[in-house]
Amino acid sequence: MPQHDNLAETIVYSAPSSLPDSSLRGRVALVEADAPKPDDERLSTLRLRLRMVCSIMLVSFAAFFLRQALAEGVDTVMRCNWAAIFLALGTSSVILACVKSPSCALLEGVQALVFGGAAWFFAVTMHFTTRLNLQFGEMPWVVFDLMTGMTWFCVLAFVYGNLYPGSWRRTAVGVSTLLVIPVVVLFYERYQIPAFAQLVNAKMVTLILMTLATCGGSIIFLSYRLQQLQHDAAVARRFGQYRLKEKIGAGGMGEVYLAEHTLLKRPCALKRIRPGSDTDPVTLARFEREVRATAELSHPHTVEIYDYGRAGDGTFYYVMEYLWGLSLEGLVDRHGPLPAARVVFLLSQVCEALEEAHANGLIHRDIKPGNIFAARRGGRYDFVKLLDFGLVKSVARPDDPTLSRQETVVGSPLYMAPEQFGGDTPDARADVYSIGGVAYFLLTGRPPFVGPTSYEIMIAHARDPVVPPTQLVKSVPPDVEALVLRCLAKDPNQRFQSASALSAALAACSAAGRWTYADAARWWQLHRDDDAKDIRFEEGNTPLSPTPIEHSAVTHRNHANVPG
């Protein structure tokens, strides 16, 4: 379903306040998560850098003030300007020295005070010296003081650019703002004073603008390259006992790398928080909850977790088994709808994995074809692995409500049960609904509901009847169709009440037992030429040779286990 790829991703969706169907009114599903760990290291680094900047500025401004006071004297207007900058820098220094653990908001305020105060000082100085020099006919000094002011703004922009070396977008906004200020002063003086406009002609203005643009562009590009280098260096580092080899995809919260245990030489998949997400407390909490929830499960059809930890730079990561094969999404996209017997065979294994999860009080909440993997394990093909417990919710023990976000929907719109975005708390029957959506996709090649936006798809799940699979694929057996439609019932009470009940119903279908591991092995061998570029088969029991490319949710060319 390539045309639906953009809607197959897991989302966090804030629903509109007014919904057309009564079942969608009120509060929607919450994102519960355990309490996050504050990013003390990042705030501490920013505090130290701001203290250093304040100290350097205080010494520099004091030296220039003494020089001007002793050599030329200080005009009354400039006394107020000097007092303002010393007050801004002194106040900032006291705050940074006294508050040992400042909040992010406090540091942002101090930063605005420091750089805003310095920018104000330079702007007022440019304006004052321009008027003074013109008053006394010192035309050469007008140009000199103007260029000096531009230079100081460039220095200020350079200092700001080094304050956030890991965030080039923040640098771009700050640097652009700082370098716009002298341009505003320049054009204000040209508009207000004709003599200044004649002295600083269009050619000089063009030169000044090009100089400021070059300075700002260089600082922003340098910040961007530093961020890239930091990312590359982080990737090159070892995560505990694991060495990263290459990136194989990206999931909903993190990036996944092919890794190798340095001692065991065992290939594995290492998932780490995507750069830029590690400051989001909800993302961190979801990431930690995913690995803890998955580690509690031991069923062979649930992806196995090997290890978990934090790297030296504080990056969260966990290590899971590396799988060879295709996600069910990639399988259908490559080869079209599957026969009912194979669908029953695959989904029976999914139900087995969910039986254990539900018995432990865990609801997956993000079951979709991209999170179900048809792998090769122990010489068996079509061996299902259920991935990505990033949205798992515990119904056996309450989650911390302090991180709950009201009116928020989590999941994949194409396969979400209506209660996941309605007022009811989803339980195991929400996973049953999602399995029905996956079955519908496997049988017909399309999700049960499609639409131009996630919101319209969710409305369809809650309101519209499902088109029977036999209207799209005539060969679907009646009992399999009835099973799928029961899973997709709007009312949870009309569905199978548990994964075990659904598993029993699958076993009783007429298509059950007509697809086996032997059939799967023959199918994979028969289609090895179709997937030769991505998956290679050899004689005997040689496993599928992985060729990691991009995540199947993007191009369906990479079929390593990349949840999300």
Least confident of 32-36, 114-118, 361-365, 395-399: 32-36
Task: State which H helix or E strand residue 80 sits in.
Answer: helix 76-98
DSSP state of 283: H
Rounded mean pLDDT of 333-339? Answer: 94
Contact between 370 and 564 under an 8 Å Cβ cutoff? The reply is: yes
Per-residue pLDDT at 19: 38
Per-residue pLDDT at 3: 52
3-state helix, strand and coil shares in percent for the chain, rounded to the nearest 5: 55, 15, 35
Per-residue pLDDT at 499: 94
Q: From CA 28, how far away is CA 284, in angstroms rounded?
A: 22
Q: From CA 426, how far away is CA 134, in angstroms rounded?
A: 74
309: burial class by Cβ within 10 Å (0-12, 13-18, 19+)? middle
Q: From CA 74, how far away is CA 64, in angstroms rounded?
A: 11
Least confident of 109-123, 125-139, 311-325: 311-325
Mean of the per-residue pLDDT values of the chain: 79
Instruction: Label residues 24-50 b or e (16+ Cβ within 10 Å = b).
Output: beeebbbbbbbebeebeeebeebbebb
Total-model pTM: 0.57
In 488-555, which ranges are continuous DSSP H helix?
499-507, 517-526
Task: State which H helix or E strand residue 393 sits in.
Answer: strand 393-394
Rounded mean pLDDT of 329-349? Answer: 95
Per-residue pLDDT at 10: 56
φ/ψ (deg, to 5) at 118: -65, -40
Q: From CA 544, how far away is CA 379, in angstroms rounded?
A: 10
Q: What angle do CA 264, 265, 269 make, to 5 degrees?
A: 105
For the annotated catalytic residues, the residue numbers are 366
Cα-based distances in Å from 405 to 66, 284, 400, 408, 410: 55, 15, 11, 6, 11
φ/ψ (deg, to 5) at 39: -85, 70
Cα-based distances in Å from 471 to 300, 463, 466, 468, 476: 36, 20, 11, 6, 9
DSSP 11-37: EEEE--S--SSGGG-S-------PPPP
CA 368 to chain centre: 19
Q: From CA 271, how far away is CA 285, in angstroms rounded?
A: 15
pLDDT digits (tens, 9 = 90+) for 193-243: 888 888 888 888 999 999 999 999 999 998 888 877 777 766 666 677 888
For residue 261, the cross-strand partners are 242
pLDDT digits (tens, 9 = 90+) for 279-330: 566 666 766 776 777 777 889 998 888 887 777 666 778 888 888 888 999 9
Contact between 362 and 291 under an 8 Å Cβ cutoff? The reply is: no
Q: How confident is the model at residue 272 (pLDDT cuts 50, 70, 90)?
A: confident
Instruction: Count the neighbouring beta carbons within 10 Å of the beta carbon of residue 60.
Output: 13
CB neighbour list of residue 60: distance below 8 Å, 6 or more residues apart: none
